[in-house]
């Protein structure tokens, strides 16, 4: 079966390596040999044997009827969206690791794939090498999903782990994560939480069967997290993790991406370095946890190639995936209930009393450098903001949500 690969960077070169290294077992599982016929990239690779397969014109791939599966690892919306649409409409299955594309156009591309009786598969778009899309779509289908919460970005988990364990600076570890091929082309997507936001949008769309618009998800990254916050976390027997979550609450769904303080006894607290973990709560199966490398060349390529194998096995059959275009209205972020850890600068003698008056009873945390630090009780986001506003004369050094 002839495959074309779009993009020969970290993931794309991994796809070639996986197919070549495991060709025998892949052939057995796919029921036929899988052969890469073309690799589309902007560049040439004169010192790499792949160069003989390099093309620069997408139409060569589109018009070649021998090519039945196209695997994309270029990233971005343009031209990936047009390429995906054109391939599916031509009857070619399309496999991608591109979460930007899936979060924005997943519902539409799945529909086009269904109409043309081919497949649009995107296992690598969430959690790198962790199987999570297929379980949601095929294994947990007996359940109503009530919650998905996870560490969904390898770069930020790598940064937070190294800052905590090795006392290194944010900038230094980010540079290393880029060198290791974990980070997005523009690493703001990682550190500002946009990447995790797209991933939780994809997971919640699959879990609830309707479109969760990533732009509706309140998103905060890790750029404001400091070494001092890490010291406080340690004192509180907690760690700081960037979590993406979606939950059913009453008759609503709420979703959010933000750094959270979680107890060291929480299962996600032990997920370090580039590893990701995704916790899923079903109403019948109860708690499930998926764990593995969330970024990097070979783990991600493994998921892309597994999709290629699935597309080969399902030639002529569309694997039904429920993700309607109809949009879910998410619960307003102001109404979501949460507890906060707060650090205030320059505590004067009366500050503790004022905090208690404003917030009601708080849990005081032993403070550093003359600061005042505390954890609030659980309250609506809007009430927290109003109360903090009443302290507008005091500098807020940090405010981090606390996972119950
Ligand atoms: P890279 O930047 O390493 O690779 C992308 C490759 O595609 C580059 O060689 C790039 O060329 C090429 N490319 C970009 N635009 C075009 C185009 N229009 N036509 C042809 N080739 C093009 O990215 P990654 O491999 O890291 O990521 C690829 C995708 O996979 C992204 O969507 C990313 O989010 C996703 N992903 C990445 C993971 C990782 O760990 N790296 C994990 C999971 C998903 P050039 O360099 O010249 O721009
Ligand atoms: N930049 C992403 C991450 C790649 O660090 O998780 C995997 O999607």
pLDDT digits (tens, 9 = 90+) for 376-394: 999 999 999 999 999 999 9
Pick the atom of ligand 1 nearest to 13's CA: 25
Q: What SS3 state is found at 91?
A: coil
Across the range 259-267, mean pLDDT stands at 97
Q: pLDDT for 245-256, tens place per residue?
A: 999 987 899 999
Please state, in angstroms and as integers, the Cα–Cα distance from residue 368 to each residue in 49, 73, 343, 347, 365, following that order: 58, 46, 10, 10, 9
Q: Is the CB of 190 under 6 A from ligand 2?
A: yes
CA 182 / ligand 2 centre spacing (Å): 6
Tokens matching residue 398: 């940090």
**Whether residues 204 and 229 fall in one domain:** yes
**Whether residues 161 and 287 fall in one domain:** yes
pLDDT at residue 308, rounded to an integer? 98
**Whether residues 186 and 273 fall in one domain:** yes
**Whether residues 363 and 317 fall in one domain:** no
Taking CA atoms only, the protein residue closest to ligand 2 atom 7 is 295
**Whether residues 148 and 235 fall in one domain:** yes
281 is catalytic: no
Statement: the pTM of the whole predicted model exceeds 0.85: yes
Q: Is the CB of 145 under 6 A from ligand 1?
A: no
Exactly one of 92, 162, 164, 199 is catalytic; name it: 199
Domain with residue 394: its CATH number is 3.30.70.1150
**Whether residues 272 and 149 fall in one domain:** yes
* Closest ligand (CA of 158): 2
**Whether residues 174 and 270 fall in one domain:** yes
| Distance in angstroms between the alpha carbons of the first and the last residue of the chain | 50
Tell me which of 5, 8, 11, 189 to substitute to probe ligand 1's pocket, judged by most ligand atoms within 8 Å of the beta carbon: 11
d(CA 402, CA 234): 14
Q: pLDDT for 294-346, tens place per residue?
A: 999 999 999 999 999 999 999 999 999 999 999 999 999 999 999 999 999 97
Domain extent for 158: 136-293
pLDDT at residue 42, rounded to an integer? 98
**Whether residues 151 and 279 fall in one domain:** yes
Long-range contacts of 380-387 (CB under 8 A, 24+ apart): 380/334, 380/335, 380/336, 380/337, 381/333, 381/334, 381/335, 381/336, 381/337, 381/338, 382/334, 382/335, 384/338, 384/340, 385/334, 387/358, 387/359
CA 184 / ligand 1 centre spacing (Å): 8
CA 367 / ligand 2 centre spacing (Å): 35
**Whether residues 164 and 282 fall in one domain:** yes
**Whether residues 214 and 66 fall in one domain:** no
Pick the atom of ligand 1 nearest to 14's CA: 25
Q: What SS3 state is found at 258?
A: strand
- pLDDT(349) > 90: no
**Whether residues 217 and 85 fall in one domain:** no
Domain with residue 186: its CATH number is 3.30.360.10
HSE, CB side, 13 Å, CA atoms: give it for residue 59: 0
- In 25-90, the DSSP E strands lie at 35-40, 54-55, 67-72
Pick the atom of ligand 2 nearest to 276's CA: 6
Domain with residue 77: its CATH number is 3.40.50.720
**Whether residues 168 and 78 fall in one domain:** no
- pLDDT(188) > 90: yes
Domain count, the chain: 3
């Amino acid at each position: 079966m002839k495959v074309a690969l779009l993009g020969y960077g970290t993931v794309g070169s991994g796809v070639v390596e996986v197919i070549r290294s495991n060709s025998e077992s892949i052939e057995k599982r796919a029921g036929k040999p899988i052969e890469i016929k073309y690799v589309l990239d902007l560049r040439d690779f004169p010192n790499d044997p792949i160069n003989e397969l390099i093309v620069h014109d997408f139409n060569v791939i589109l018009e070649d009827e021998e090519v039945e599966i196209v695997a994309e690892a270029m990233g971005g919306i343009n031209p990936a969206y047009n390429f995906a649409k054109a391939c599916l409409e031509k009857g070619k299955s399309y496999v991608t690791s591109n979460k930007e594309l899936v979060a924005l156009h997943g519902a539409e591309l799945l529909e086009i794939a269904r109409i043309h009786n081919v497949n649009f598969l995107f296992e690598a778009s969430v959690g790198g090498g962790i199987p999570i899309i297929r379980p949601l779509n095929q294994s947990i289908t007996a359940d109503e999903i009530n919650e998905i919460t996870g560490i969904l970005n390898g770069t930020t988990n790598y940064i937070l782990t190294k800052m905590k364990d090795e006392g290194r600076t944010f900038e230094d570890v980010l540079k290393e994560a880029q060198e290791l091929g974990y980070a997005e082309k523009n690493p703001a997507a990682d550190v500002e939480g946009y990447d995790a936001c797209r991933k939780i949008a994809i997971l919640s769309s699959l879990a609830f069967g309707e479109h969760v618009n990533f732009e509706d998800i309140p998103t905060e990254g890790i750029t404001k997290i400091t070494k001092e916050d890490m010291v406080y976390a340690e004192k509180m027997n907690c760690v700081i993790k960037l979590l993406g979550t979606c939950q059913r609450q009453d008759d609503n769904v709420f979703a959010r991406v933000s750094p959270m303080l979680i107890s060291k006894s929480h299962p996600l607290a032990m997920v370090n370095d580039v590893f990701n973990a995704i916790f899923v709560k079903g109403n019948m199966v109860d708690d499930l946890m998926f764990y593995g490398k969330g970024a990097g060349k070979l783990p991600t390529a493994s998921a892309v190639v597994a999709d290629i194998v699935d597309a080969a096995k399902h030639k002529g059959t569309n694997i039904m995936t429920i993700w309607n275009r109809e949009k879910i209205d998410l619960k307003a972020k102001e109404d979501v209930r949460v507890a906060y850890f707060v650090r205030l600068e320059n505590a004067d003698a009366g500050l503790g009393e004022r905090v208690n008056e404003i917030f009601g009873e708080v849990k005081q945390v032993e403070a550093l450098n003359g600061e005042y630090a505390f954890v609030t009780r659980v309250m609506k986001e809007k009430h927290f903001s109003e109360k903090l506003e009443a302290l507008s004369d005091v500098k807020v050094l940090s405010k981090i949500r606390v996972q119950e």
